[in-house]
Chains A and B, each alone.
Chain A
Amino acid sequence: MTGVRAVEGRAYPLGRANIDTDIIIPAEHLKTIARDGLGRFAFETIRAEPGNVFDDPAYSGGSILVAGDNFGCGSSREHALWAMRDLGIQAVIAPSFSDIFASNAYKNGLIAVALPQAAVDRLMEVAKDQPIRVDLETMSVTTPYQDRFEFALDPFRRDCLMRGLDEIGLTLESEASIAAFEARPGADLLQPGAVD
């Protein structure tokens, strides 16, 4: 995966608290063995609503989503990330994220930016007519109106995002530690019995 330093573009002002991953992509579309092509199913139930932000030409091609509290709650399905990335979304700004979504996000090069509700409310307004910039170098969200909101991100996740790291490759460099851990006294107790 290639690294990302900043995302700038129009943002979908979705709002709404508790957007669950069933809303991002219903289970019916999880019957795939590939990661691509899921963008057309993203936010399917919201897109069935007249006047929804995803089909509003004003936000067409948006790269950022502004949403409410507890974004990405529910199922661990990474298809939610694949669908959003396929739709072109590279950053989500919300007051909070579910733990699993936040973890899945950075592994797919999507920046999950947590900001206070007041900042999110302001960005909802800005998104209606102007682009928004999310910058991982300066750890800030800025707008053409000179708004500037700083955010925090786990340093490991920030590093993975910016460098586009192969996390598995990184962990495999710790092979000796993993092997030593497996050889510790008492490790045999945790061996499951064989399945016939």
Chain B
Amino acid sequence: MSSRLRTLYEKIWDAHVVERSDDGTCLIYVDRHLVHEVTSPQAFEGLRAAGRRVRRPDLTLAVPDHNLATTRRVGADGNRLPIADSASRAQLSALEQNVAEFGIPYFDDLALEQGIVHVVGPEQGFTLPGTTLVCGDSHTAAHGALGSLAFGIGTSEVEHVLATQTLQLRQSKTLEIRVDGTLGFGVAPKDLILHIIGRIGTAGGTGHVIEYRGSTFAAMSIEGRLTVANMSIEAGARSGLFAPDEAIFAYLQGRPMAPKGADWERAMAWWRTLPTDEGATFDRSVRIHASEVAPSVTWGTSPEDVVAVTGSIPDPDSFADPARSAAARKSLAYMGLAAGTRMEDVPVSYVFIGSCTNSRIEDLRAAAEVLRARKVHGDIRQALVVPGSGLVKRQAEEEGLDRIFIEAGFEWREPGCSMCLAMNPDKVPAGERCASTSNRNFVGRQGPGARTHLLSPAMAAAAAVMGHLADVRELVG
């Protein structure tokens, strides 16, 4: 085994095989399990019904995020404000009861550390290179930015991991996405991942684990890599990996749950053995040059419906695949858009900066840079900034970013998933159009009838200022 040339994915996989069956199914050990309120109650109920315990609560971390209102959580009297929606309240209180009953570490909704699971894991050093990490949420792929084999699971698997700390899995194929060169002025990691999804399609990575390689990714910040890895699932891949490197080590060192002292040195020595061996092969490979990538936006209801902001909405008849043409026609009808319209002529009435894709400090800095001394356009009905965690929020406030947002006309909110999937009160009304830094532009994703255009934080800020989709390069620099 050790003599064979292996990819990063294969090394992490091999290091976690507990048992291998003749049919190729492997029992894989899970090092880290993040739990939130939406996909866990039925799993805990299953444990209770079968009289089972949580095998390793110490490898588990729970935090509420999907349901939480992003308005103030504490009243003027210092007491917790009630959660208005009764179903949300029941789901949150079920999580509180479950973590207490099963002894799972927990950041509650008032904790400074609370936030979106995929922001909290890296921020706390819970996510580490070479680990397997799961969560009942498809955007778990984000943690691959730190070299963790991380993927989303369903509730049955959540229960399986709680009870056994393992999963029955088959090895995936490998897909190399190699990007070299320097991203142009005004081009963000979000633009790059949208470009990649537009290129390979939403099923392009199905059955594969992606490894992001090349000089563009090597030069990218950890937060940028988190944005890229996060949307691997939008390309169909359950996981997307970055090789452990010095930037990852620098990001993690000293984080609360990361190894310390001599353990840190030992861990780094192991992490340095993990990158893909020179000469190891991938099942598939895609190459892109960074100079191809422009500030990008989506025009339809699939994340693969991507075009440069300077471009126009394609003609559905221009697609070779008749299924794609039919889908594009349906998308445009839902979006209320016509083929040939310039993207910069598309008006927006809502702006959302947040989500596990783009709610970290660098995202907020990029948006604030555009908004400094500017105002949100009069046609914008609501512009929200929802930091990814309490710690991101505090950092932004220390840097004065909150004042830039508020003075521009944005609402500065408490952390959570918010308008990305509209499970909480933050929704885009039917027929309204939102410039959103989130990850999915599906029908009804931001609320029934809502229309979503995915873009980067700086591009969202530009849209807020102009009242329509706009090329951020014309506003800055």
Chain A positions within 8 Å of B, measured between CB atoms, are 16-18, 20, 22-23, 26-28, 30-35, 45, 68-70, 73-78, 81, 96, 98-100, 103-104, 107-108, 154-156, 167-172, 174, 177-178, 181-182, 186, 188-195
Query: Are the CB atoms of A22 and B257 closer together than 8 Å?
Result: no
B442 contacts the other chain (CB 8 A): yes
Query: Are the CB atoms of A177 and B157 closer together than 8 Å?
Result: no
Query: Are the CB atoms of B164 and A33 closer together than 8 Å?
Result: no
Closest B residue to A172 using CB positions = B164
A residues within 8 A CB of B18? 174, 177-178, 181
Query: Are the CB atoms of B21 and A156 closer together than 8 Å?
Result: yes
Given B32, B50, B207, which contacts A99 in the complex, CB threshold below 8 Å?
B207
- How far, in whole Å, are A155 and B24 apart by their CA atoms in the complex? 9
Query: Are the CB atoms of A190 and B39 closer together than 8 Å?
Result: no
Query: Are the CB atoms of A172 and B258 closer together than 8 Å?
Result: no
Query: Are the CB atoms of B164 and A171 closer together than 8 Å?
Result: yes
Decide: A31 near B85, CB < 8 A? Known: A100-B154, A167-B168, A192-B61: yes
B80 contacts the other chain (CB 8 A): no
Query: Are the CB atoms of A74 and B138 closer together than 8 Å?
Result: yes
Query: Are the CB atoms of B154 and A81 closer together than 8 Å?
Result: yes
A17-B323, A22-B443, A27-B422 known, 18 other contacts, Cβ within 8 Å: A18-B327, A22-B440, A22-B442, A22-B445, A28-B423, A45-B444, A75-B421, A76-B153, A98-B206, A100-B233, A100-B238, A156-B21, A174-B27, A186-B270, A189-B267, A190-B128, A194-B257, A195-B61
CB distance from B17 to the nearest CB of A (A): 9
Tell me the chain B residues, 84-108 only, with Cβ under 8 Å from chain A: 85, 87-88, 90-91, 94, 105-107
Query: Are the CB atoms of A96 and B206 closer together than 8 Å?
Result: yes
A residues within 8 A CB of B39? 76-78
Given A23, A76, A186, A188, which contacts B138 in the complex, CB threshold below 8 Å?
A76
Decide: A76 near B137, CB < 8 A? Known: A70-B203, A107-B154: yes
Tell me the chain B residues, 156-203 only, with Cβ under 8 Å from chain A: 156-157, 159-160, 163-166, 168, 170, 172, 202-203
Q: List 15 A-B contacts (CB under 8 A).
A: A16-B327, A22-B442, A31-B88, A31-B90, A33-B94, A73-B203, A76-B153, A103-B154, A107-B156, A167-B160, A171-B27, A171-B166, A178-B55, A190-B128, A195-B256
A residues within 8 A CB of B443? 22-23, 45
- How far, in whole Å, are A76 and B207 apart by their CA atoms in the complex? 15
CB distance from B115 to the nearest CB of A (A): 14
Query: Are the CB atoms of B302 and A18 closer together than 8 Å?
Result: yes
- How far, in whole Å, are A32 and B326 apart by their CA atoms in the complex? 34
Chain B interface, DSSP helix/strand/loop, else mixed: loop
Query: Are the CB atoms of A192 and B21 closer together than 8 Å?
Result: no
CB distance from A100 to the nearest CB of B (A): 6
Query: Are the CB atoms of A189 and B259 closer together than 8 Å?
Result: yes
CB distance from B464 to the nearest CB of A (A): 24
CB distance from A156 to the nearest CB of B (A): 4
Interface residues on B, range: 35 or more
- How far, in whole Å, are A133 and B23 apart by their CA atoms in the complex? 27
Decide: A104 near B156, CB < 8 A? Known: A31-B88, A155-B23, A168-B164: yes
B29 contacts the other chain (CB 8 A): yes
- How far, in whole Å, are A84 and B88 apart by their CA atoms in the complex? 23
Given A34, A68, A96, A192, which contacts B257 in the complex, CB threshold below 8 Å?
A192
Closest B residue to A32 using CB positions = B87
Given A27, A104, A177, A181, which contacts B154 in the complex, CB threshold below 8 Å?
A104
CB distance from B268 to the nearest CB of A (A): 10
- How far, in whole Å, are A34 and B46 apart by their CA atoms in the complex? 10
Query: Are the CB atoms of B154 and A76 closer together than 8 Å?
Result: yes
B409 contacts the other chain (CB 8 A): no
Chain B positions within 8 Å of A, measured between CB atoms, are 18-19, 21, 23, 25, 27, 29, 31-32, 38-39, 41-42, 45, 50, 52, 55, 58-59, 61, 66-67, 85, 87-88, 90-91, 94, 105-107, 124-126, 128, 130-131, 136-138, 152-157, 159-160, 163-166, 168, 170, 172, 202-203, 206-207, 233, 236, 238, 256-260, 263, 266-267, 270, 302, 323-324, 326-327, 421-423, 440, 442-445, 448
B residues within 8 A CB of A28? 422-423, 448
Closest B residue to A26 using CB positions = B444
- How far, in whole Å, are A26 and B427 apart by their CA atoms in the complex? 13
A residues within 8 A CB of B172? 99
Query: Are the CB atoms of B206 and A70 closer together than 8 Å?
Result: yes
Decide: A171 near B203, CB < 8 A? Known: A18-B302, A30-B38: no
Query: Are the CB atoms of B323 and A68 closer together than 8 Å?
Result: yes
Query: Are the CB atoms of B163 and A172 closer together than 8 Å?
Result: yes
CB distance from A172 to the nearest CB of B (A): 6
A residues within 8 A CB of B165? 178, 182
CB distance from A82 to the nearest CB of B (A): 8
Query: Are the CB atoms of B160 and A171 closer together than 8 Å?
Result: yes
Shortest 10 CB-CB distances between A and B: which pairs? A31-B87, A78-B154, A33-B41, A104-B154, A107-B156, A76-B152, A70-B203, A195-B105, A78-B155, A193-B257
B residues within 8 A CB of A33? 41-42, 45, 90-91, 94
- How far, in whole Å, are A107 and B156 apart by their CA atoms in the complex? 7
CB distance from A154 to the nearest CB of B (A): 6
Decide: A168 near B163, CB < 8 A? Known: A30-B38, A96-B206: yes
A residues within 8 A CB of B156? 78, 104, 107-108, 167
B residues within 8 A CB of A174? 18-19, 27, 164, 166
- How far, in whole Å, are A26 and B32 apart by their CA atoms in the complex? 28
